[in-house]
Structure 1
Amino acid sequence: MSLPKINVKEVDEMLEKAKNMKPEDLLFKYKGILYPSLHSQPENIDAIESFEAREDDLLLVAYPKCGYNWMIQVLNKLAFSAGKLKNPKYIPYLEFTNPEKLKLLSTLPSTRILGTHMNTNNIPVSFFEKKSKILVVLRNPKDTAVSYFHFYNKNPALPAFDSWDKFFSQYMSGEVMWGSYFDHAVLWEKYIDSENVKIVTYEDLKANLTEEIKEIAKYFNYTLSDEQIQTIAEESTFDAMKEKSQETYGSFGKVIFRKGGVGDWKNHFSDEQSKEVDARFEQCLAGTKIGAKLKYEVHCK
C-alpha cells in the first residue's frame, strides 16, 4: 500500500510564512486553550462543534507528542489490510480543518479515519452519540513534556522556548498548545470502560507493538492474519517510520521524529521538577484506572 502523506507543498508554504511572523502571533487562545495559528483559526473550532460523525468512523485521539503520527500510520495499514480503506491518506486534526474542508470530509466514503489532539470536552459530541470507535493514545507525562519541548523548539511554525525550565513551567500550568496534559488524561477516566473507547499507551506500544496492534485490530473488528499483523508491526516501528519520514512528511519529518524512546525525561528533569510532576500525578490520577494504565511507578520513577 502507498503511505499516507501530508501536503508537503502546503507545509513548506506555512513554514515560509512563519519566518515573517512575530513569535506571539504564532499561537492564538480560544476558550482558554492555545492553538497554532498557522494551522487553525477560531472558526475551525467553532465549525467542528457541529461535525456529524458516523458510526463507522475511526477517531484517533492523542495529546501532542503521545504517538499521533505513529498511530495514523498503523490505523491506515490496518484499515487497508482489512479491506476497509482503498486509498490511505494522511488525516489532519479536526481542529486544523476549516469549514470548507469539513464539508469535503462529509463527502468522503467510509471508512473515515479522523484525528484530534483535543480533550473530551472539545471533541464533537456526535462521536459519542453515534458511538464511533475512538482510539486514545496516552504517554507518561514526563516523556511527553520532553518530547513536546523539543517539538516546540524544532518547529519553525511555533515560538521557541529559550530554556527547558521555562517550558516546564508552562507545561505544568497548561499554557502550551491544547492545554493541560493532566486535564486531558483525567477526562478519559469517564470513558475507560466504554465499549466504543479503547485506550492504549505509548509505552505498551513500544514494549510489544505486535500484540498491541493485534488488540487494536480486534477492537475495530478487523480480521487479519498473524502474518499481516506482524508485517504491519515491522513496518510501524519508530526506526522504520523515521527512515521513511522524508517520503511521508518531507522536511517536516525531522520535526516530528526525534528519539521515540521511553525514559528520556531523566536527561532533562531536575529532582524538583520530577517531584512536582509526581505530586500532580498523585493529585489527579493516583488510584484511577487511567493512572494504573500509565504504569507511572515503572516509567516515571
Structure 2
Amino acid sequence: MAEEQEQVSLKKTYFFSPGYVLPVIMEKNNIETVVKNFEVRDEDVFLVTFPKAGTNWTLEIIDAIQNIDNIDILKERSLMEKVPLIELGPSTHPEMVEEGITDVPSICQVMLESVPEGSPRRIPTHLLPDISPTQLFTKKPKTIVVDRNPKDCLISLFNWHQSVRFLDPCTWEEMFAAYMKGHTIYGDYCVFTKAWAKYKNEPWVLWIRYEDMKKDHKGSVRRIAEFMGKSLTEEQLDEVVRVTHFLYMKKANETIKGREFILRPEGVWQRKGVSGGWKNTFTVAQNEMFDKDYHEKMEGYEDLKYDL
C-alpha cells in the first residue's frame, strides 16, 4: 500500500483504496462514515456519473424539472450548489489549506441534510456502488446514470485539472499516463461502468447516454421528467430546454456566485460540451493504446461499449 501511494501520478490526489484515487478535497473518513450512512428519502433523485460525463448539465435539467414552477431559482444557485457531490468535503488536507480552500464542509452532512423534509434533493455522485450510501440500494430512489464516451471524459477531465483550484494542472501526456494506470480521480472508467451496470435494468434506474442527450435535448428532458414522475406540458419542456442549453448555462455561469472559490482566474466551468473532441488531442499511438485497453476491459459488456 505504501509503495502504491508513492506512485500517485497527479498532485492533490490520494489512494482511497488500492488502485482507487480521489481528490484531496474529499475525506476518506467522511465517505466511509457520513456518506455511507446517509439517510435517503423517497423523493430524492440521485445522479451517478463518471467524472465529466455530463454531470453539470444533467443536474441543471433535474433542477429545472424539480422547480418548473419557480425556475428562476436556478439563477440563485452558487457554483457549489450547482453540483453538490455527496462525497465532497470537508477540506482539511494541507494542500487545500495551502490553496486557501479551508471552509468546505461535508456536503453530505450540511447542505443536503439541511433541505426540509419533503423538498426535492438532487444528489450527484461519482462514487462506486460499494462506497455509496447503503440506503440507495435498499430504498431505491429515482437514480439516473449518465454514460459518455470515455475518450471525451478524459479530455474534459484534463481541461478540468487546468481550471479548478482543488486539482493540479498537468500536461496531456501526464494525464494520459495517469489514466492508463487507473490513477486519475475516481479510478478506471471501465471499472466504474461495469460496477454500476449491475443496476442498469432496475426499474428505479434510468441509464442514459450523454451523446443521446446531445442529439435530442428535448426528448431527453421528456424522458428524464417522465422517469422522475413529472408530467410537463410542451411549454414547460421547452422552458427546461431553454435554461439548460449549453450556451445559456455557460453565459449564466460566467458571473455565478462562488466562482472565484472553485475556479482559477483563467478557469472555465463549462468549456465546449461537444462530443468527439478527443480526436483533436489523442495521438495515433495513444488512441491505439486506449482502444486496446478499453476493449479488453469491456469484454462481455457489449451493450455498454462505445464504438471508439
Same fold (TM over 0.5): yes
Q: Distance in 1 between matches of 2:244 and 2:206?
A: 19
Partner of 2:113: 106
CA contact (8 A) 1:238 1:260 kept: yes
Residue of structure 1 in register with 2:283 after alignment: 270
Q: Aligned pair in 2 of structure 1 residues 107, 231: CA closer, same or farther (>3 Å)?
A: closer
1:146-170 CA-to-partner distances (Å, cap 9, x unmatched) read 1111111232332222x31221121
* Partner of residue 95, structure 1: 87
The question of 1:227 aligning with 2:235 is answered yes
Note if 1:279 corresponds to 2:280.
Answer: no
CA–CA distance in structure 2, aligned partners of residues 202 and 248 of structure 1:
24
Q: Which runs of 5+ in 1 are unaligned?
A: 1-22
Aligned match for 1:157, one of 153, 156, 166 = 166
Q: Which AA in structure 1 matches 2:278? A: W
Cα distance in 1 for residues equivalent to 2:195 and 2:253: 32
Q: Does the Cα contact within 8 Å between 2:88 and 2:108 map onto a contact in 1?
A: no
Cα displacement (A) at 1:97: 4.5
Would you say the 8 A contact 2:30–2:106 is kept in 1? no
Secondary structure of 1:148's aligned partner:
helix
Q: Kindly report structure 1 stretches of 4+ aligned residues shifted beyond 6 Å.
A: none
Q: TM-score, normalised by structure 1?
A: 0.81
Rounded to whole Å, the distance in 2 between the matches of 1:258 and 1:234 is 18
Does 2:45 match 1:58? Answer: yes
Percent of residue pairs bearing the same amino acid type: 27
Partners of 1:189 and 1:289 within 8 A in 2: no
Q: Which residue in 2 is equivalent to 1:146?
A: 155
2-structure distance, mates of 1:239, 1:184 = 30
Cα distance in 2 between the residues matched to 1:276 and 1:256:
30
Quote the Cα distance in structure 2 between the aligned partners of 1:280 and 1:95: 29
Partner of 2:102: none
| 2:82 corresponds to 1:74 | no
Distance 2:156 2:113 in 1: 34
SS in 2 for 1:244: helix
Aligned counterparts of 2:217 and 2:66: Cα–Cα separation in 1: 17
C-alpha deviation, 1:287, in angstroms: 5.1
Aligned to 2:181: 173
Separation in 2, partners of 1:290, 1:51? 32
**Larger relative helix fraction:** 1
Name the amino acid aligned to 2:14: F
Deviations 1:207-230 (A, max 9, x none): 111000100001011011011111
Going from structure 1 to structure 2, the CA distance change for 1:227 and 1:286 (only over 3 Å counts) comes to: farther
